[in-house]
Structure formats: C-alpha cells, structure tokens
Amino acid sequence: MAPAATVSAILPSVAAATVVMTRTCSFCLRCGPRGERGPLIKGRTLSTEAIHAIQALKRSPDSTANLSRLIKSDLVAALKELLRQDRVPLALRALSVLESEHGRIDLSVYAEVAATLARNRMAEEMEELVGILERDPEQLDGRERVGVWSRILKAVNAVGKREAVVRMCGVMRKQWGSGKADDYSVKVLCRGLRDVGESALADEVESDYGMTKVWP
C-alpha cells in the first residue's frame, strides 16, 4: 500500500483530470473490462464491446453480427440503452438476437420493451410482442413475478389495441392456469378488456378467478 503522503500527492492531479473530463464530455458511459464490471444498472453501465455493438448497429441497422458476439449481460444492457434512447426498431433487433442466442429471457426485459412501445404508441409492434409472449410461455423467466406481469398488462392496455388486449388475456390465463391469480393483475387485465369493449370477457375472467366485479 502506498504511504499516505504519496497518495495525497497524486490527489490534485486526479482532481484536475476529473475537471477536464467533466468539461469536455457532456455525457459519458461507464465502461469496464469484461471480468471486473459491477452489476448492470438499467442498461446505463455498458462495456466497451456493448458500446461498439450499438454504434455498429446504428451505422448498419441490417447487420446484427456485433450484437451476436456479446455475452448475455452486455446484450441486455445494449437493448436497454436502445430502449432508453427510443431507438425502437434497433432495440427490437437486439431483442431478436437475445432470444435467438440466449433462449430464456427475464420477464422484466419484455416489460421494459412493452413500456417503450406504449410510450411511443406503437400498436403493431406491441402486437408482435404479445405474439412472443404467446408463442412459448415456458421460455419466460420470472413467471411468478406478479408486478412485472402487471407492468406488461398496463403497457398493452395503454396502446388500446383490442386484439392485443384480448390475446394478452389468453397469455395470462395460461400463466394462471387453474390456480389462484393475483387480484391486481386480474383487475388490470379486466380494465383493459372493458376499455376495448370486451366487458363479457372481463366478466368471465373475474368469475373464473373468484373476483367480484369492480369496474362499471
């Protein structure tokens, strides 16, 4: 360990370097070597490889080769960064690579995609996302995470596409099966169904899962 006097001597130069960096960079992404990074935080902590992959995708949107080379955590981080920037077509390409390369995906990733699609009022893309959730529900990682499912339901409801809401009803019934559904998700789903004119289906869902009718 360096003596205290030596450490003190280098602190001014470190501070000066920090000031220079602050003045010359309006926004800096944190990077680090593959084996020594801390946990990813909402897609904002990116490795050098992830940053290069994002830049390459923006230059050549039809090529996903650089994304395919990323480890799973880097690919998830790149996807979340593209969502944060509202680069939805590119983010959906990253999602496709994530599914094809790594299979089982945490449900929270789909929730973030759904929220971005709702924010941008992208109805067709939301239907495609619902199709992914329909296709192979056993591949979803996090099926017991009630709060994440309700976030997805709210996003689908916000777009207001009747077909997507009805299809999500089917997805949720498969998730719940014959067991006990959580009351909050049932309420969110039934509100969405009634908003798109599917009151009879909402009544059926409430009846199937032991809910008292709560919406006018």
Q: 10-residue block means of pLDDT along the chain (216 residues)?
A: 43 43 40 40 72 95 92 95 95 94 87 96 94 74 70 96 95 82 91 96 90 53
**pTM for the predicted model, two decimal places:** 0.73
Q: Tell me, what's the pLDDT at 137? A: 58
140 DSSP β-pair partners: 105
pLDDT at 141: 54
What integer pLDDT is reported at residue 176 of this predicted model? Answer: 83
Phi, psi (deg, nearest 5) at residue 105: -125, 140
- Give the pLDDT of residue 198: 96
pLDDT at position 40 is: 38
Q: What is the pLDDT of residue 93?
A: 95
Contact criterion met (CB below 8 Å) for 127 and 90: no
Task: Enumerate long-range contacts of 179-182, CB under 8 Å, 24 or more apart.
Answer: 180/209, 180/210, 181/209, 182/146
Q: Which residues on neighbouring strands pair with residue 141, listed in sequence order?
A: 106
> What per-residue confidence (pLDDT) applies to 208?
87
